[in-house]
Structure 1
Amino acid sequence: MTELEVANVVGMITYQQELDMAALAETFEDREETTSVTYEPAENHWLQTRFAPDDTYVAFYRSGRCSIAGCESVEHFETVVEQVNGVMRDLLGFEYEPAVEVSNIVATADLGSNISLEALTIELGMERTEYEPEQFPALMYRDSEYVMLVFSSGKLLCTGLTDRQAVSEAIETMASRIRAVL
């Protein structure tokens, strides 16, 4: 079994109302949960914040959506969601449970041996792979649900899936195919 390391979990919270960005920015300035607040409507249409204790990036949009990036696990993402919802519940006074979804898990793995990316391109098939070493140092494998970058050093990066088990299976499948080429 190939060990994977989650590098980033990204997700969204959807509130059932439009958000007043200027009022939120002003309120967040005084909250201990936020370590930084940036709202510059002339440059960006969203409110950028960082939540304590680890400065997790949280962006708020007028549409009532909120994106969270930089979590190191699904559990960490869920903790930040609870924290953000607690603050937003205080500010907006809603009683419903906002919709929450993980939209991307980025994970890495190291197979511990060098890989011939030319041979792997042939093994995986040209229709799903891109390998142009002059432009980018990794082979890019596109599945219908995810993208896997394979580096000649034996490192893998998987992105596009929303479930840790699916990420694990994708990495294990790729590792098996690579071992067949070695």
Structure 2
Amino acid sequence: MQDPKETINIENVVASTGIGQELDLQSVAMDLEGADYDPEQFPGLVYRTQEPKSAALIFRSGKIVCTGAKSTDDVHESLRIVFDKLRDLEIQVDEDPEIVVQNIVTSADLGRNLNLNAIAIGLGLENIEYEPEQFPGLVYRLDDPDVVALLFGSGKLVITGGKEPDDAREAVDKIVSRLEELGLLDG
């Protein structure tokens, strides 16, 4: 049986930063090759990097959200590219703007089917939401780490809300040990 922690995969890292000044997005969109800007659809300019693959959402306020990266290193590299592109347009960007990871979404696999009805009863109603008519997964809110785990009958998990890659490992450990305590991981 494979250790569920070995199956953890980062699906998306979302981080925010800013350049501390307002931007004329129309002007930036015209000068920044590959930029998408349609203010009627979305208020920000979208700039995609290919290597590493991500999207930077650049707002008029100078705030930037990076999404789609597969690691925190990729976030930093993607934003470095964005900062350099903005500097090339003679937009003032600090040498090393603060980058804050807002959310890390990971997936994992417990390697066996789960009885979500039994888990919902076993975990108690305080920290879970389970309405199979509405959504096939069980929503389990953990306090430490402060994440939300979606458990599916297939044994697959999605963990969201983490700020560090280790949050997912810690969450998987806690979920596995809690389900083992309840006798719900047998078989």
TM exceeds 0.5? yes
Pairing of 1:140-151 with structure 2 (within 5 A): 140-144=139-143, 145-151=146-152
2:50: which partner in 1?
52
> Which amino acid in the other structure matches residue 97 of structure 1?
D
Alignment of 1:1-182 (within 5 A): 1=3, 2-3=5-6, 4-29=8-33, 36-53=34-51, 55-91=53-89, 92-144=91-143, 145-180=146-181, 181-182=184-185
> What is the SS of the residue equivalent to 2:134?
coil
Q: Report the number of matched residues.
A: 176
* 1:56-88 superposed Cα distances (whole Å, 9 cap, x missing partner): 211100011111111111111121122112222
Distance 2:43 2:175 in 1: 40
SS, match of residue 68 in structure 2: strand
What whole-Å deviation, never above 9, does each CA across 1:20-42 have from its counterpart, x for those lacking one? 1011101112xxxxxx3211123
User: Residue 169 of structure 2 aligns to which amino acid in structure 1?
Assistant: S
Structure 1 residue matching 2:113: 3-state secondary structure = coil
Structure 1 residues 20 and 113: CA distance shift in structure 2, 3 A: same
Q: Distance in 2 between matches of 1:157 and 1:123?
A: 20
Could you say what secondary structure the match of 1:38 adopts? coil
Q: TM-score under structure 2 normalisation? A: 0.87
Contact 2:14–2:103, Cα closer than 8 Å, also in 1: yes
* Contact 1:15-1:99 within 8 A present in 2 as well: no
- The separation in 2 between residues aligned to 1:130 and 1:93, in whole angstroms, is 47
Deviation at 1:54, TM superposition (A): 5.1
Q: Distance in 2 between matches of 1:112 and 1:11?
A: 31
| Cα RMSD for the two superposed structures | 1.6
Distance 1:77 1:27 in 2: 23
What SS does structure 2 have at the residue aligned with 1:67?
strand
Q: Which sections of structure 2, spanning at least 5 residues, go unmatched? A: none
Secondary structure at the aligned position of 2:154 is classed as: coil
> How has the CA–CA distance of structure 1 residues 125 and 79 changed in structure 2, closer, same or farther, with 3 Å as cutoff?
same
C-alpha distance in 1 between matches for 2:78 and 2:94 = 19
Higher share in strand: 1
User: Could you give the per-residue CA deviations for residues 157-180 of structure 1, whole angstroms, max 9, x where no partner exists?
Assistant: 100111111221012211222233
Q: Gapped runs of 5+ residues in structure 1?
A: 30-35
Q: Secondary structure at the match of 1:167?
A: helix
